A and B are shown apart, each in its own frame.
Chain A
Amino acid sequence: MVPIPYYLALSAVLFGLGVAGFVFKRNVLTVFMAIELMLNAVNLAFVAFSRALGQPEGQVFVFFVIVVAAAEAAVGLGIVIVIARNRQSLNVERINLLKL
């Protein structure tokens, strides 16, 4: 059996990549995908623990996360489309209408 630190390390790397993508990329779609990456990094950690501890709760959590992520993706993509229509751009730095 693969020991748990391996899973956690992979999960941390994936999460870090997601954070980096969220912080540094300018395209809204890329940022969006970075969020998905972070969510799935967390899912990986859940599953790993569930398996290592032999308990099902972790996998139940993962299902919840997937459901929420699906809903979020639906809403988020809707927002992205509206932004793209109105601003003719997908650059997050130009989404600053609420800024003082």
Chain B
Amino acid sequence: MFVLEHLWIIPLLPLLGAAANGLFGRAWPRKTVNGIALGATGLAFLATAELAREFARLDPAQIPWTRSYFTWIMAGNFRADYALQVDALTLVMLGVVTGVGWLIHLYSTGYMADDGGYRRFFAYLNLFMFFMLTLVLAANYVVLFVGWEGVGLSSYLLIGFWFLKKPATDAGNKAFWVNRIGDFGFLLGLFVLFRQFGSLDFSAVFSGAAAMPVESAGAGVLTAAALLLLAGATGKSAQIPLYVWLPDAMEGPTPVSALIHAATMVAAGVYVVARSHVLFLHAPMAMTAVAVIGCLTALLAATIALVQTDIKKVLAYSTISQLGYMFLGCGVGAFASGIFHLMTHAFFKGLLFLGAGSVLHALGGEQDLRRMGGLRRVIPWTYGTMLLASLAIAGAPGFSGFFSKDEILLAARSGPHANLVLYTLGVLTAGLTSFYTFRLLFLVFHGAPRYDESQTQVHESPRSMLVPLVVLAALSLAGGWWAAPQLVGGRNYFESYLAPVFVAPAATEIAEGESAVRTPGLIGALLSAPVVAGLAGFLVAFWLYVKRTDLPGRVAKSLPVPHRWLAGKYFVDELYGAAIVRPLLWLSTNVLWHRVDERAIDAAVNGLGRGAARSGDSLRRLNSGNTRTYAAWVVVGAVLLTTVLMWMAP
């Protein structure tokens, strides 16, 4: 029971690693830096494994297991402890974060081997791990918010890791600002919750919310709180309308994109929605908002991904799209499926990013899909693993993405919050996903080489990079089988593992939903639609990018308007720039800066200073240095004083 009693060990390990490397590592050789960074994360992973073992022996009555270590804030009737909590959901998140995180640390030792900022990079990565683990282990919203902001900070630091590159620092700033908007909503949500329940502990909030009636007709406190939390989640998880920072975040090193902007941090929003599911289930309007936002984001991002030419941008939009799926899953009440997709997505999208990094590594940093091609034979390991990941994300039967994505779509079709429109759009998105994924794969690995073969020494990546690829490929392949038995009418192990977390507050609803779902024939029919869509996407991609490579250009030419809109990413950045950034900048520059600041605040301060100087200058003349003048003043003073005293005397 050691780890259960000392939960703080898990986040503390990476923090120590970050502190050691960040503060003292300047003169250390790479081996030491490696050892500390990988060791800290690896130990956190082992601690998580031990935690899972101990957790399995707990009495169900003790779950969620909460431990409070010290009182952090005490003000009036507000009290926030540094308290950590474990339940099945936390364990799944811990496993993903530490497991995938460790693999990406390992990968980074190869990928960043020639980078001057080696030590700084690993210090930041470990810092990120610390905040992410704090986020998922938190037992109240305050500690969660610490992790929430902390991962935002680490994300900012790592996007702008190559700080001499202007686009990188710009992207870091953009990510930070856009997230601030969401975080503001999140914070307001916390205020609403505190006002309503007088506490921000998960247990108090959720039991309080569970006791309140479902706000089915119109909006109430819970709806407001849930929508505000959702605003925070759309920022962190890159959903409409705050998704614009994620594609730019690709300026960071590729392992960062894999770890933070695909596998873990961007999933934090999904985690928060799932964690706060009681609130959402009691606020149907917020549930609908989650589902609609998720579905629209999935579709929109998938369409943008169709025409991007930067390998990492394609993957970034793909990530946004898949996160949309997770939101859709949560929004239709299938929280377990949303989290399941989060996990499988961490495997295959992490793998896709790492594979893309391996391609970049092989081509000396080339990111443009139009200057790749034919790499299949040159870097076979990268190709093989990326092929598996592509099959997984496209939802090929048997791969992990198949189970998780189709479960979400199944819930959208026949779950307790089913909606046929959302389902149809989800299936459409599945087709698009398959298309853009295989477009990427074919453009990179098939056909004739389009890069300059005489200039580039294409080479397979070192073993430290290939091992994570292979492990993640195995997980992408097998990770879905946890939930597989449902297909044949059996138990969905993943869902039953998470059942204690999600069932309790809405037992009736989910039970009803499941009874409808559990018919094998129905499942077979419903599963086929996304599979068929995925197959169609694959075939179209194969036709366009392997068989008739002249076609894509002609299609783009014959449809100039849609192509321009897609290539321009629907001009959302431009719209935000014109509607929000430019007016804000104008207001700040012309009103707040030149008027309020310069003419009011500065003028007041300068005026006070000048007034003091001037009065001092005139008073200075009294100090003539002439003794007899002083004496005269003394006399005047004495006379005045005497007069006053005589006046005051009775």
Interface of A toward B, CB cutoff 8 Å: 19, 22-24, 31, 92-93, 95-96, 98-100
Contacts and interface: CB of A to CB of B under 8 A. Distances in A.
A96 B626 contact: yes
Nearest to A100: B625
Nearest to B627: A92
B619 interface: no
Nearest to A25: B628
Interface in B623-637: 623-628, 631-632, 635
A22 B628 contact: yes
A10 B554 CA distance: 122
Interface residues of B, number: 9
Contact of A23 (B623, B625, B628): B628
Given A19-B635, A96-B626, A100-B623, 7 more contacts: A22-B628, A23-B631, A92-B627, A96-B625, A98-B625, A99-B624, A99-B625
Interface in B87-121: none
Nearest to A97: B625
7 shortest A-B CB distances, which residue pairs? A99-B625, A23-B632, A96-B625, A23-B628, A22-B631, A19-B635, A23-B631
Nearest to B620: A100
B105 to A, nearest CB: 69
Contacts of A93: 626, 628
B626 A23 contact: no
Nearest to B624: A99
A95 B626 CA distance: 8
A62 to B, nearest CB: 21
Nearest to A93: B626
Q: Which of B624, B626, B627 has the most CB of A within 10 A?
A: B627
Contacts of B627: 92, 95
B305 to A, nearest CB: 77
Nearest to A24: B628
B624 A23 contact: no
A99 B627 CA distance: 10
A93 B625 CA distance: 9
B213 to A, nearest CB: 82
B554 to A, nearest CB: 90
B219 to A, nearest CB: 74
A96 to B, nearest CB: 5
A48 B639 CA distance: 22
23 contacts: A19-B631, A19-B635, A22-B628, A22-B631, A23-B628, A23-B631, A23-B632, A23-B635, A24-B628, A31-B628, A92-B627, A92-B628, A93-B626, A93-B628, A95-B627, A96-B625, A96-B626, A98-B625, A99-B624, A99-B625, A99-B626, A100-B623, A100-B625
B135 to A, nearest CB: 65
A17 to B, nearest CB: 13
A17 B632 CA distance: 13
A98 B627 CA distance: 11
Contacts of A19: 631, 635
Contacts of A99: 624-626
Nearest to A96: B625
Nearest to B628: A23
A22 B629 CA distance: 10
Contacts of A92: 627-628
A23 B634 CA distance: 10
Nearest to A98: B625
A2 B424 CA distance: 124
A96 B627 CA distance: 9
Contacts of A23: 628, 631-632, 635
Contacts of B632: 23
A96 B624 CA distance: 9
Contacts of B624: 99
B617 to A, nearest CB: 13
B179 to A, nearest CB: 59
Contacts of B635: 19, 23
A56 to B, nearest CB: 27
Nearest to B638: A19
Contacts of B628: 22-24, 31, 92-93
Contacts of A31: 628
A42 B635 CA distance: 15
A20 to B, nearest CB: 9
Q: Which of A23, A93, A98 has the most CB of B within 10 A?
A: A23
A24 B460 CA distance: 103
Nearest to B625: A99
Interface in B21-53: none
A39 to B, nearest CB: 15
A24 B629 CA distance: 9
B533 to A, nearest CB: 91
A10 B624 CA distance: 33
A23 B632 CA distance: 6
Contacts of A98: 625
B550 to A, nearest CB: 91
A68 B165 CA distance: 82
B616 to A, nearest CB: 13
A58 B624 CA distance: 38
B628 to A, nearest CB: 5
Nearest to A19: B635
A22 B624 CA distance: 17
A41 to B, nearest CB: 14
A73 to B, nearest CB: 18
A92 B628 CA distance: 8
A24 B631 CA distance: 10
Nearest to A99: B625
A24 B626 CA distance: 12
Contacts of B626: 93, 96, 99
A22 B628 CA distance: 7
A60 to B, nearest CB: 25
Contacts of A22: 628, 631
A96 B623 CA distance: 12
A18 B625 CA distance: 21
A67 B635 CA distance: 25
A92 B632 CA distance: 14
A23 B627 CA distance: 9
Nearest to A34: B631
A98 B625 CA distance: 7
A24 B632 CA distance: 9
Contacts of B623: 100
B635 to A, nearest CB: 6
